[in-house]
Amino acid sequence: MKKVLFLCLIIISLCGCVTTLLPPKVTMHSSLDGYRYVYIIPTSERTSVKGGTYGTQYGIFGSTSTHSINPTDAISGHFIKRGYIRLPEIKPELAEQTLVVNFSELGRREVDFGYTIEVSIQLLSAKTNEVVCVGVAEGQGETEADDVRIAIDRCLDEIFSKR
Domain boundaries, the chain: 19-162
Running DSSP on this structure, what letter comes out for residue 41?
Answer: -
3-state secondary structure string, 98-157? EEEEEEEEEEEEEECCEEEEEEEEEEEECCCCCEEEEEEEEECCCCHHHHHHHHHHHHHH
Running DSSP on this structure, what letter comes out for residue 79?
Answer: H
Running DSSP on this structure, what letter comes out for residue 111?
Answer: E
Which pLDDT value is given to residue 20?
A: 85
Inter-residue contact 163 to 62 (CB < 8 Å)? no
Which pLDDT value is given to residue 10?
A: 54
pLDDT digits (tens, 9 = 90+) for 115-130: 899 999 999 999 999 9
Beta-strand pair 85-86/37-40: parallel
pLDDT digits (tens, 9 = 90+) for 84-112: 999 999 999 999 999 999 999 988 888 87
- What CATH class has 19-162? alpha beta
Which pLDDT value is given to residue 49?
A: 72
Which pLDDT value is given to residue 19?
A: 57
Which pLDDT value is given to residue 75?
A: 97
pLDDT one digit per residue (tens) for the chain, 163 residues: 556 555 544 554 554 445 588 899 999 999 999 999 999 999 988 777 777 776 777 777 777 778 789 999 999 999 999 999 999 999 999 999 999 999 999 888 888 778 899 999 999 999 999 999 999 999 998 888 999 999 999 999 999 998 7
Which pLDDT value is given to residue 2?
A: 57
Q: Kindly give, in sequence order, each residue whose CB lies less than 8 Å from that of residue 31, ignoring residues fewer than 6 positions away.
A: 132, 163
Which pLDDT value is given to residue 16?
A: 45
One-letter amino acid for residue 122 of the chain: Q
Burial 87-114 (b: 16+ CB within 10 A, else e): beeeeeeebebbbbbebebeeeeebeee
One-letter amino acid for residue 78 of the chain: H
User: Nearest Cα to 41, choosing from 126, 148, 150?
Assistant: 126
